[in-house]
A and B are shown apart, each in its own frame.
Chain A
Amino acid sequence: MADIADVLAEKVRAAAAAKTPLAVQGTNSRHFLGRAVESETLSIAEHAGIIDYEPRELVITARAGTPLAEIEAALDAAGQMLAFEPPRFSAESTLGGAIASGLSGPRRAYAGAVRDFVLGCRVVNGKGEILKFGGQVMKNVAGYDVSRLMTGAYGTLGVLLDVSLKVLPKPAASLTLVREYPVDQALRRMRELAGKPWPVDASCHLDGRLYLRLSGSPEAVETAKRRLGGEVLAGDELFWQHLRDWQLPMFNERPFWRLSLPAAAPMLPLDGEWLIEWGGAQRWLKTEQEIDVVRQTVADAGGHATLIGDQAGEDVFHPLPPALLALHRQLKQAFDPANILNPGRLYPEL
């Protein structure tokens, strides 16, 4: 529970001088995400602790090594939450890992992604410089939006030190409706609902059933329940928690695919086990099909595919078009000229 920013910066400076690559790590609960990095470890786990949390401001600032569990407990005590529901892969999963991997949970399509809630950050760039961007206020257009750029960059542009996040009040009431639906109809139904002001804040199609979570004031949830129909799912909190933390049976065995698609894309011609959420915009697939086939099918539908598993050398993330890759390399160069921060974790060229 200390601020060890200076120590971390010094280590990065030394590594940059010696051109030693560093694998930036919290508690390594996300080791199976992204490509493997062969290098010395830079642990930020000790750089932990909530720095500032005032519920009235709807903002929390914490060090990157702070366990998500600690942050969520503090928020919970004030009736607030991280609305983007980052997955927690272990009890020690850190804030830094959640921001760097940029993953969001079931509420994402309705409330926004991690990056939508990031207000500011303090980082160490690849030169070992401690820099601060954004802030603790809701609106801020001074300078380029480096805080959001860091989100989902897998630590390849900077070592996250502190992060400020917008938080939201928890809904007063919440319940889940379930109904049998074939997948095509479920996809259509999700789109119908998205175009109307229903208080839906999570949706999921799994094993022939459509799950809809309703949230808001008790009256609103009650009315929507009556009008939408379906069975009320008992113990629904656990269901969404398992979906959020990748603990449903279909996530048990890696590798599997995360497909990010235009929400209205039809069912794709790929055999396997499917789970659809985010109103159709995020789909999970377990398949025997070739990597190239999956990627091509998803790209043709306007989306991209990420392979989740511990496959060291594989291309995990969807390949970038040459012009975009070139721009990524220039950006990497702008932040980390010695190429020492998590080299190769995102793409071999970065």
Chain B
Amino acid sequence: MNPSRHDLIRALQAFLPDEAILADEEALRPYECDGLSAFKQLPLLVAMPETVAQVQQVMRICHQFQVPVVARGAGTGLSAGALPHSGGVLLSLAKFNRILDIDVQACTARVQPGVRNLAISQAVVPYGLFYAPDPSSQVACSIGGNVAENSGGVHCLKYGLTVHNVLKLEVITAEGELLTIGSDALDSPGYDLLALIHGSEGMLGIVVEVTVKLLPLPEAVRVLLVAFDSVEKAGQAVGDIIAAGIVPAGLEMMDNPAIRAAEDFAHAGYPTDAAAILLCEIDGGLDEVASQVARVRGVLMQSDATEVRLAVEESDRQKLWKGRKSAFPAIGRLSPDYYCMDGTIPRKALPQVLHQISELSKEFNLPVANVFHAGDGNLHPLILYDAGKPGELHRAEQLGGRILELCVKVGGTITGEHGVGVEKLDQMCVQFAPLELAQFHAIKAAFDPEGLLNPGKAVPELHRCAELGAMHVHQGQLAHPELERF
């Protein structure tokens, strides 16, 4: 059924105020893409409910009209997961921006899905607590989006991803039913649906409330900046630190293009002649930190580092991190456009993969800068290109695809934290066999039999992979140039 847009608006107006329904093209424009602007699409309309009951009603109406629904948090996603559906409702959770409850005894906070990630930690600092997962986008991204992507951050090496730090969710199904998933206890009876919802990219339900776990702020935090004259040596040192039995709070790496861009932008005091730097953060009790810093230094002494610098003062530490956290925008200044990849590999493959990425960069004639979560083996190669030049975006996408396939080849994965969205549908065909993809579709159908939630994302249709397989056979000679192939 293709209901008229008019009928749908009428039905929504029955319970939503006029300003909560956007339908003019001009008003829809800001919603046409998320953080990956290579994909753009206007939705049929945007709904901005502000109560759980309203979300339920939106879902019921859309179910009745058989209209797709795409949830949107802050729209910072990097895989086009929140890309609107041309015939569907874009459900914005922006108005769900309240922290509902902070329970200091239990070390938990109950928040609405539109609350910004950083706002949680800021609200609980007075109690000596924090919310651990800290994506670089934390000033902007929403906790609902974090759940949907199972986002990580600089500190997830020690503190885990979103899935490790959430206790309970309120979720609304495609049919408008409200489910409580997880609990205020540490586990719940039955299947681990809580884990299943994490990283499900808005395909299984709409998250309308999140109970997060809070951790005590560490007594002491120190950052070591370590410089190397080769990327491979830096990669090796990452493995050495972990092998020494140390789990740093964060272990980040930047290569020379990234170092120079970040230094220009943030004046963090990075050595701009280094081939690579590591930022190694150690936190915990004062004594624990002192002893671990000494051990890390010991490891690094043997690792050919050209410089080891310890930031003790909080302001020095903040400066070092400022460079890292602003690395994306800093690199953005180097080039009209950049494309951020997100594969994870076994740590031991770091030196080899970094080398191969630089070879690919030459092959495609596009510069690549690397800023990434080295401790987890989570790469973020940034491909620099100019969308204004014909063919460059396509070349960047091809290079990106090759990098992801390389990740799969060394035993890794095509996405560590940014999700599949629309962007990596083709690479899903590389990572998973048809039977596995069919199992994913069956899971989706168990939650959403009519396929109304964020259709076309995260898991490719089997025929797409079949066609892609055929494409590979034809060695890049596209069989159906009219089909979209992002």
Query: A residues touching B (Cβ–Cβ < 8 Å)?
Result: 54-59, 79-80, 102, 108-109, 112-113, 115-116, 125, 129-133, 135-146, 148-149, 151-153, 157, 168-170, 172, 191, 194-199, 216-220, 222-224, 260-264, 278, 281-282, 302-304, 306, 317-321, 323-325, 327-328, 330-331, 333-335, 346-347
Contacts and interface: CB of A to CB of B under 8 A. Distances in A.
Contacts of B14: none
Contact of A318 (B189, B195, B436): B189
Interface stretch (B41-49, B155-163, B463-471): B155-163
A327 B348 contact: no
Contacts of A222: 287
Nearest to A329: B446
A215 B22 CA distance: 55
B187 interface: yes
A224 B285 CA distance: 9
B217 interface: yes
B447 interface: yes
B344 A278 contact: no
Given A191-B105, A219-B287, A137 B412 contact: yes
Nearest to A316: B189
A149 B287 contact: no
A318 B185 CA distance: 13
B377 to A, nearest CB: 6
A133 B433 CA distance: 10
A109 B183 CA distance: 15
B444 to A, nearest CB: 8
B84 interface: no
Nearest to B183: A302
Interface in B276-299: 284-288, 290-292
Given A142-B428, A331-B446, A137 B190 contact: no
Nearest to A259: B185
A264 B106 contact: yes
Nearest to B435: A129
Contacts of A327: 179, 193, 446-447
Given A139-B416, A141-B417, A224-B285, A262 B106 contact: yes
Given A149-B195, A195-B107, A217 B288 contact: yes
Interface of B: 103-107, 127-129, 149-150, 152, 156-157, 160-161, 163-164, 177, 179-181, 183-193, 195-196, 198-200, 204, 216-219, 239, 242-243, 245-247, 284-288, 290-292, 344-348, 373, 376-378, 411-420, 424, 428, 431-433, 435-437, 439-440, 442-447, 458-459
B190 A328 contact: yes
Contacts of B107: 194-195, 263
Contact of B411 (A135, A170, A220, A302): A135
Nearest to A347: B190
Nearest to A223: B287
A285 to B, nearest CB: 14
B123 to A, nearest CB: 15
A165 to B, nearest CB: 14
Nearest to A145: B195
Contacts of B181: 324
Nearest to B214: A195
A153 B411 CA distance: 27
A194 B198 CA distance: 25
Given A56-B242, A140-B415, A149-B196, A197 B285 contact: yes
A170 B190 CA distance: 31
Contact of B184 (A80, A262, A330, A346): A262
A330 B442 CA distance: 9
Nearest to B189: A318
Contacts of A79: 245
A57 B348 contact: yes
A335 B347 CA distance: 33
Contacts of A335: 439, 442
B216 A196 contact: yes
Contacts of B216: 194-197
A295 to B, nearest CB: 11
Nearest to B404: A142
B184 A141 contact: no
A327 B161 CA distance: 25
22 contacts: A112-B160, A116-B160, A136-B346, A137-B345, A137-B416, A142-B420, A144-B204, A145-B196, A149-B193, A152-B192, A197-B285, A216-B284, A260-B185, A263-B106, A263-B186, A264-B106, A317-B189, A323-B179, A324-B181, A327-B179, A333-B446, A346-B190
Given A135-B411, A149-B191, A324-B179, A303 B185 contact: yes
Contacts of B183: 260, 262, 302-304
Contact of A153 (B104, B191, B290, B348): B191
A334 B439 contact: yes
A179 B442 CA distance: 53
A138 B378 contact: yes
A229 B288 CA distance: 19
A260 to B, nearest CB: 4
